[in-house]
Chain A
């Protein structure tokens, strides 16, 4: 054993140890990152489940100061807002996704794609201001429609980008085969290409729905909130998210208790959509960010 090789082996040990330590740090970082997920879910189940009862789903909010009551109107309101937003957002998103995939490489399509990407980075509260300017003010008041427009605006770029990416995954030969058989271009796109990508496109749409279901900020001054049933598209409407927000920052313990219950219901809806879709597609699809 020469001195040189001892020094060498000591150095190697040191380098290996350093490597192991750094990799250990990476594992530790992952654990720390995932810890809040379990803590939050545990709190939700513990605090939320004890506050959940049938009345929560079937009753209206009780008047201020009275105990009890539920969030029936907020649950229906959230569903209504999501439905209306999807009616507007999904067709636009899928349509422009079709366009972007068909004109992949053209300058306009690249610009539009970049626009959609940038749009995803617009803070949702700013989208709320936009919906206020184009819907609330002209119509003279907070409304269901305004809330749905704000959510649709958030949805469109998400659906556009996932649709495009799913379409681009379809082998080009499939399109060529259809075209060679004399199928018109638009029918090829819809009946062959889009159909092949259908489950991916649906996944994208559902993940976008899951995303807007949890939005609060753009609803604050568009859909506003309502302690009663919304009677029409032009009246303010309650939503689970805004209701949870209002109750959480209130000084009443009974409201805070209901906020936990609302948060549990909300999270269950969002995670069920997310998990369901992923289970169906076995993790192959992912939503645009």
Chain B
């Protein structure tokens, strides 16, 4: 009897043992087919990512062999004599992205604080929607606007001022033209703010209400609450958001190609034209005649991919950590 009872108990326990949440019960044929189909489609998506990396490595092999590490530090970009060095583009990419982030990060933090801490829900929703619209405008439209409006405006109204007050710095010296690193940087800032701001807003919203209440109960003003409770709690998420924004800025192609002037030179001045990794690929890929030329352009793409992937992997881990903590503690 006791044995029977025990056996029954085991059966019942087995029956009610909770299945893994949402797991398929692959028993029936239909389930198997369905499961297999969706699995295959998932594999298609994954293999694209892997295939992308492999294709770029294979296609850049001639250039990798010809120049080795010298490619990354070479300053010559001379298609006629088949000498290729990526440093001018790496420099242009870094300077324009740094400039963009310098402008975009404070703005994004302001927007995120406004949306998460200050505006009432109805206003926050509408403002958030407008920020997303800013992200939806195609980059070629940003580029068009920058060529005809932003670039000339910066040249006529901002650059003279910068030159007069900060002209002793090499950054703000030189002739003023409407296509410049400065214009690309400002445009990039406008384009990445929506991304950084949206992620930061999510991060701040994930800060447990109890943290805010604790700060307020101690007599903190609103700003002190933000500084003591919200910012420290969301710090890793904010860093992740900035890295995501940097990834966007590095990879942004067409808008930058339209306003940066596309000249492979390293100049200390922000008023000078330059070129980025992405912009040179956009400009020269379709016209690349020799295989070494093409391969060098692909290697620029490989550099872009490697940096982009590294930034994204770290950033997503940070953001995920900051926005999912609420499910464990707090609330």
Contact = CB atoms under 8 A, between A and B. Distances in A.
A and B interact: yes
Interface of A: 15-16, 18-19, 22-23, 25-30, 32-34, 36-37, 39-40, 43-44, 47, 91-93, 95-96, 98-106, 109, 111-112, 114-130, 132-134, 142, 153, 156-157, 160, 172, 175, 184-187, 189-190, 210-211, 213-217, 220-221, 224, 241, 244-245, 248-249, 256, 259-260, 263, 266-267, 270-271, 274, 278, 283, 286, 289
A273 to B, nearest CB: 9
Contacts of A106: 20, 23
Given A33-B108, A270-B136, 16 more contacts: A18-B221, A26-B110, A29-B109, A30-B127, A37-B133, A47-B148, A93-B45, A95-B42, A119-B45, A124-B253, A125-B278, A125-B301, A126-B301, A130-B55, A248-B144, A256-B148
Interface string B102-119: 000011111101110110
B235 interface: no
Given A29-B110, A96-B38, A185-B28, A126 B251 contact: yes
A259 B20 CA distance: 55
Nearest to A29: B110
Nearest 3 Cβ contacts at the A-B interface: A29-B110, A123-B251, A214-B138
B42 A96 contact: yes
B311 interface: yes
B309 interface: yes
Counting chain A CB atoms within 10 Å of each CB, the highest count among B40, B42, B190, B301 belongs to B42
A157 B254 contact: no
Nearest to A260: B144
Contacts of A259: 144
A244 B144 contact: yes
A124 B308 CA distance: 11
A102 B38 contact: yes
Interface stretch (B72-80, B167-175, B195-203): B195-203
Interface stretch (B3-11, B29-37, B82-90): B29-37
A91 B42 CA distance: 11
A40 B145 contact: yes
Interface in B34-75: 34-35, 37-42, 44-46, 48-49, 51-52, 55-56, 58-59
B91 interface: no
Interface stretch (B156-164, B206-214, B279-287, B322-330): B279-287
A216 B145 contact: no
